[in-house]
Structure 1
Amino acid sequence: MLKKISVHQLGLGMHLQEFCGSWMEHPFFRSSFVLTDPKDMAAILGSSIKEVWIDCDKGLDVAAGEAAVSEAESQAQVDDEIKQMAAGQRQIAPVSAVQELERAAKICQRSKQAVLTMFEEARMGNAVDVDGAKLLVEEITDSVSRNPGALISLARLKTADDYTYMHSVAVCAMMVALAKQLGLDEAQTRSCGLAGLLHDLGKAVMPMEVLNKPGKLSDAEFTIIKSHPVEGHKMLLGGVNVDPIVMEVCLHHHEKTDGSGYPDRQSGDQISLWARMGAVCDVYDAITSNRPYKSGWDPAEALRKMAEWTKGHFDPKVFQAFVKSMGIYPVGSLVRLTSGRIGVVMEQTGKSLTTPSVKVFFSTKSNMRIMPQLIDLSSPDTREKIAAREDPAQWRFADLNELWSGLPGVIW
């Protein structure tokens, strides 16, 4: 039986079922475990969490005579919360990118550590904590609902060493945004987010010297890497009631519509919608991220090249929806306006894919930096338009990421 109690009522031997509040407010990736370590008790008491749910059937109860929410009331609250989540009744108010970026940065930091822990557990042969992963997906989904560009763009700023872990976070966020663009329901959207988070789970058992090799893989090494979808699928099969969408994306996110993908060489309609979504999100983050053997492409340039690959690689309708969710010029893209000023895309305006909000900071006419100015290209008072994409590698603006994120030196 579940009970909601104050953290000050917690005792060793109790089965902690769930924290009341955001997973970012407590120091644990997992939220369902028996309290056996006094250090864990101290960490909970030192956090901002005030109440928790305990399961009296799996651990000790509160002391006799101590006040707690009644068992009947506890179960009723749990049932009501579950029903609200299933019905998609959680209301998330949209905010600007500037407002969401700082919160998204905290989510990225916690997410990286959570995924790192999850991969380490999988590497040791332990079962995947799907319930803990769902809490992470919920927080990421909320951020995407408030502003899709913030977390997705920040997750792109990963080091080559942390690519595997932050890649999972980025694909999770993009799968959520794409699901919303495709009009999927709340349950399907959460499943897509979880699928994005776990799609590369099989890489946990890949040899690190192959996974992080700073150069082209040999045929033998590539064969090893190509086994990661099957290995991840095996891990998920060992779990309990794992979502079929998660299983499908894990196994088939490297299939291509022309049948040249792996592991099953599926083609066309043989590839599920979920796997087609996973393929687009996976490739976009891969080519826009810095890897051990190459630097990432500019977001807008990446979309242009992916459009050239659509025939034979991606589902055209899914790719079109992906572009709509990201914008033709995603956040962080470097562009030149018709005035000759260069700026970085800050946010999509919702009115047109070609009229985002841009922060200009350099004049090509005077060849010097200018005072940064935010321009909403969708405003009827604005005559400026985007004239072309610019290659960040050619300009080498050292503070480019800071200009759009507002976060100095941000990198995961």
Structure 2
Amino acid sequence: MLKKINVADLRRNMFIHELCGSWMEHPFWRASFLLKDHKDLQILRTCGITEVWIDTEKGLDVAAGQAKEEAEQEINLELDRADDGPVQAQVPLADEVRVAARIVARSKAAVSSMFQEARMGKALNADDAIPLVEEISSSVYRNPGAIVSLVRLKNKDEYTYMHSVAVCALMVALARQLGLNETDTREAGLAGLLHDVGKMMIPDAVLNKPGKLTDDEFTLIKSHPEEGHKLLLEGRNISHSTLDVCLHHHEKVDGSGYPHHLKSEEITLFAKMGAVCDVYDAITSNRPYKAGWDPAESLRKMAEWAKGHFDEPIFQTFVKSVGIYPIGSLVRLESGRLGVVVDQGENSLLTPKVRTFFSTRSGVYIKPELIDLSRPAARDKIVGREDAEKWGIKNVERMWMMPA
């Protein structure tokens, strides 16, 4: 049963069905949740929201006849007794992949529709995108590797839409690694989702051209940040951060980027984050004019560009968020086996979980084996990344997506 109550009557273990007011008035990236954390309770009581809808079938009800003063005393006692509570355990990758696959399918359809409407002149409303950002964010919190890896497997025909979903997920994962609060994490995700909306103003023949662009075509492509910024200015409930990332995600810290040639100290945190996430997804994805690079190789190349292109602390944090050997990377072990990274290790970026399936010594496929390199019993280690083409291996992705 749904009930509308005053925030003064809220208690822990009530289920928030809806916060009354615009999402911009409160700091929560999700609209409905079980109120378990006493810090969230304090935030709700002080953020300016006066009323909320609760679902009494999913959480506690308001005590019958309870006076406001008694309710507040009970809340204060709860706050005095409460601690931060346990950190939610991460969902196994194999379980989250199934959920993430459905989110990706819905996201593709939603972003495609949203962008096509923008192309036809309909004003964008950020509120329409928030549920999508919440779904993507929830998946990232359960296991960031699942959705981040799935969106990388887009085909070249759906690149523009799925790239936006991918950058949204990468921005949320990076924000989480940076320790940003819920408000900023949601802002980062929304900015990532809308950062490339300006490409709707670029003809498909230029966007998807398989050959080399002419100078005029390249100039047209470079206009998409400003075109997107114009679209968002005409929209509703578009935050400053989203506008900024859209306009400045192609700026470089050495001032050689576009459209305004901003230098390091002139580029905002979110725009620096957007630059890293945008490039990573672009170079790991199949495009009309080139095949995507291996995730680990992509990070190696980005590290070479880092000093002039990216903010180094942001880039280093990004590597932590995806792993030195991201999920899907083909690696060679000291034993001579090839394997694909299927999950990150708990304690070290150098010891992920790897599914081996090929012997470089005999040049043949072997029975797949899942190895957790963080365990002493593994007695093996990664000695480097490998090129699948060198060994005639196709469809590396099927190895990390296969059931445990």
TM over 0.5, shorter chain: yes
Q: What pairs with 1:171-320 in structure 2 (closer than 5 Å)?
A: 171-320=167-316
Residue 152 of structure 2 corresponds to residue 156 of structure 1: yes
Distance in structure 2 (CA, Å) of the matches to 1:218 and 1:78: 58
2:11 corresponds in structure 1 to none
Q: Deviations over 1:279-311 (max 9, x none)?
A: 000000000000000000000000000000011
Which of these residues, 77, 102, 110, is aligned with residue 53 of structure 2?
77
Ranges in structure 2 where 5+ consecutive residues have no aligned partner = 5-16, 19-49, 59-83
Q: What pairs with 1:7-406 in structure 2 (closer than 5 Å)?
A: 76-77=52-53, 93-406=89-402
TM-score by length of 1: 0.77
Distance in structure 2 (CA, Å) of the matches to 1:93 and 1:243: 32
Distance in structure 2 (CA, Å) of the matches to 1:78 and 1:253: 39
Change (3 A) 1:173 1:353: same
SS at 2:342's partner residue?
A: strand
Please say if residues 154 and 405 of structure 1, whose CA atoms lie closer than 8 Å, have aligned partners that are also in contact: no
Change (3 A) 1:92 1:225: farther
SS at 2:354's partner residue?
A: strand
Distance in structure 2 (CA, Å) of the matches to 1:133 and 1:396: 42
Please say if residues 127 and 235 of structure 1, whose CA atoms lie closer than 8 Å, have aligned partners that are also in contact: yes
Structure 1 letter corresponding to 2:143: N
Please say if residues 342 and 354 of structure 2, whose CA atoms lie closer than 8 Å, have aligned partners that are also in contact: yes
Distance in structure 1 (CA, Å) of the matches to 2:391 and 2:171: 32
Structure 1 letter corresponding to 2:371: I
Distance in structure 2 (CA, Å) of the matches to 1:78 and 1:201: 36
Q: Deviations over 1:36-58 (max 9, x none)?
A: xxxxxxxxxxxxxxxxxxxxxxx
Please say if residues 200 and 228 of structure 1, whose CA atoms lie closer than 8 Å, have aligned partners that are also in contact: yes
Structure 1 letter corresponding to 2:369: Q
How far has the Cα of 1:93 moved from its partner? Answer: 4.5
SS at 1:295's partner residue?
A: coil
Distance in structure 1 (CA, Å) of the matches to 2:95 and 2:120: 39
Distance in structure 2 (CA, Å) of the matches to 1:305 and 1:327: 15
Paired positions, count: 333
Q: Deviations over 1:317-347 (max 9, x none)?
A: 0000000001000000000100000000000
Q: Identity of paired residues, percent?
A: 61
SS at 1:264's partner residue?
A: coil
- With 210-219 and 313-322 compared, the bigger mean Cα shift is at 210-219
Distance in structure 1 (CA, Å) of the matches to 2:210 and 2:324: 31
Distance in structure 2 (CA, Å) of the matches to 1:176 and 1:108: 15
RMSD across aligned positions (CA): 2.4
